[in-house]
Amino acid sequence: MKLIDSILQSQNELLQIRQDIHAHPELAFEEQRTADVVAQKLGEWGIPVLRGLGGTGVVGILKNGASQRALGLRADMDALPVQEINRFAHASRHPGKMHACGHDGHTAMLLGAARHLAQHRDFDGTIYLIFQPAEEGGGGARRMIEDGLFEQCPMDAVFGMHNWPGMPAGRFGVVPGPMMASSNEFEVIVRGKGAHAAQPHKAIDPVMVAIQIAQSWQTIVSRNCNPFDAAVLSVTQIHAGSATNVIPDDARLIGTVRTFRTATLDMIEARMEQIAANTAAAFEAQVDFHFQRNYPALINDAGETAFAVEVLQSVAGIDNVDTDIEPTMGAEDFAFMLQEKPGCYVFLGNGEGQHRAAGHGLGPCNLHNPSYDFNDALLPVGASYWVHLAHAWLARV
């Protein structure tokens, strides 16, 4: 592992930063304390700071030499509305809030890279250190872009990284093209006519209509999608009625749709609406159809991915870089940045959880699990990758 000496020497400081952020989690667009910590550290290291993009976003601006080339390195800062069950010293001090996805580690790794780059300044060009709010459902990347991220910080490419439980600690994984799916949600209200449960002939039963719609929707993926074109349609909630002897007036279907291709998403949304409307009409009911597109699919640029792989292999060794990982149907709002700029997003293995301190929860060390904790051994690994990537990218012809 080609780790940078100065980063290894500052590993304890990075650990303290990471665990401090973990102990004080903040939800989407509430990351004021976290942003203050980031801005303070960048300032201590002589890095100019731009604040306010996306509300609580922070961007450190490192310039050196005369080159006009520029790249962005992005970390996310927000926590999740999860009740942590870990009991170690740095566990969350705020009930119902937890760094259950490792964004505390992502922030600390980028700070580690920032510290080294500021102290050595052995590069030619500009490095934008992007600390983004509200990845967890808030679309903070989109907000930063709307607030002028790429106008105020003109960069040629942008790169991201996420820890990945289950992958051996320190191992990297990446794939060109689609790597994470789009995330979309729907709510369908079936409007019928209520009646006494003993007199169903006087009702238009929205519960039965909702059941028919939910079952019919499953044929969209199995019969309308190309089998090689991954898609997931999940009905996750059905709400109807409040009494055992009453057929209600309406019923609600709620869930998500995930795809890698926009054309596939277009088709699924259209078919869902058609099936819902026509099924309801067959039963003399009506539907209100609502479909919301949240995050687009994350698509790694082929050229920048090939370049990132070369850097990863130089840092971790060829055997520790998996260039053909299976894409995940999970979503990530770094996808918005990759819609605007070429770049690459990689996974960094977080291990199976053996790293967790005494007092951790009994659950698995999985993302979004109340027993999760970031693997602090990764701090110099991720920070070293960022530094080597920035150096190599700015130096390439």
- The Cα 257–Cα 340 span in angstroms is 23
Asked if pLDDT for residue 89 goes beyond 80, the answer is: yes
Region 105-120: what's the mean pLDDT? 98
Residue 156: the pLDDT is 98
Rounded-to-integer distance, Cα 32 and Cα 38, Å:
10
Q: What percent of the chain has pLDDT over 70?
A: 100
Q: Which of 174, 183, 180, 206 is nearest to 193 (CA)?
A: 206
In residues, how long is the chain? 397
Q: What is the pLDDT of residue 332?
A: 98
Kindly compute the dihedral angle of the four CA atoms of residues 205, 211, 216, 219, in this order, to the nearest 10 degrees. 180
What's the Cα-to-Cα distance from 328 to each of 131, 170, 214, rounded to whole Å? 24, 19, 24
Whether 200 has a pLDDT exceeding 80, the answer reads yes
- Confidence (pLDDT) at 129: 99
Three-state secondary-structure class, residue 187: strand
Q: In which element (H, E) is residue 180 found?
A: strand 177-180
pLDDT at 167 over 80: yes
Of 66, 42, 180, which is closest to residue 116 (Cα–Cα)? 42
pLDDT of residue 305: 98
Looking at residue 262, what is its pLDDT? 96
**Percentage helix, strand, coil, to 5, in the chain?**
35, 25, 35
CATH architecture of 5-180+297-395: 3-Layer(aba) Sandwich (3.40)
| pLDDT confidence tier of residue 185, bands split at 50, 70 and 90 | very high
Residue of 128, 170, 108 lying closest to 355 (CA atoms) = 170
DSSP result, 49-118? EEE-TTTT-EEEEEEESS---EEEEEEE---BS------STTS-SSTT-B--SSHHHHHHHHHHHHHHHH
30-78 pLDDT, tens digit each: 999 999 999 999 999 999 999 999 999 999 999 999 999 999 999 999 9
Of the pLDDT bands very low, low, confident and very high (cuts 50, 70, 90), residue 228 is very high
Structural contact between residues 75 and 17, judged by C-beta atoms closer than 8 angstroms: no
The DSSP annotation for 10-50 comes to: THHHHHHHHHHHHHS---TT--HHHHHHHHHHHHHTT--EE
State the pLDDT at residue 381: 98
How confident is the model over 130-166, as pLDDT tens digits? 999 999 999 999 999 999 999 999 999 999 999 999 9
What is the pLDDT, as a whole number, of residue 22? 98
Q: Span 183-294: which CATH code?
A: 3.30.70.360
Q: How much is the pLDDT for 341? A: 98
pLDDT of residue 281: 98
pLDDT value for 320: 98
CA distance 42 to 37: 9
Question: What does the pLDDT read at residue 148?
Answer: 98
pLDDT, residue 263, reads 97
Is 170 a residue whose pLDDT tops 80? yes
Query: Over pLDDT 90: what percentage of the chain?
Result: 99
The DSSP code sequence of 253-300 is EEEEEEES-HHHHHHHHHHHHHHHHHHHHHTT-EEEEEEEEEE--EEE
What are 204-218's pLDDT values in tens digits?
Answer: 999 999 999 999 999
Query: What's the average model confidence in pLDDT over 345-355?
Result: 98
Mean pLDDT computed over 17-27: 98
pLDDT band, very low/low/confident/very high, at 306 (cuts 50, 70, 90): very high
Mean pLDDT computed over 355-372 = 98
Domain residue spans of the chain: 5-180+297-395, 183-294
Average pLDDT value over all residues in the chain: 98
| 97, 82 contact by CB (below 8 A) | yes
With b for 16 or more beta-carbon neighbours within 10 A and e for fewer, the 198-228 pattern comes to eeeeebbbbbbbbbbbbeebeebbeeebeee
Q: Supply the pLDDT for residue 191.
A: 98
> Two tokens at 123?
């590069």
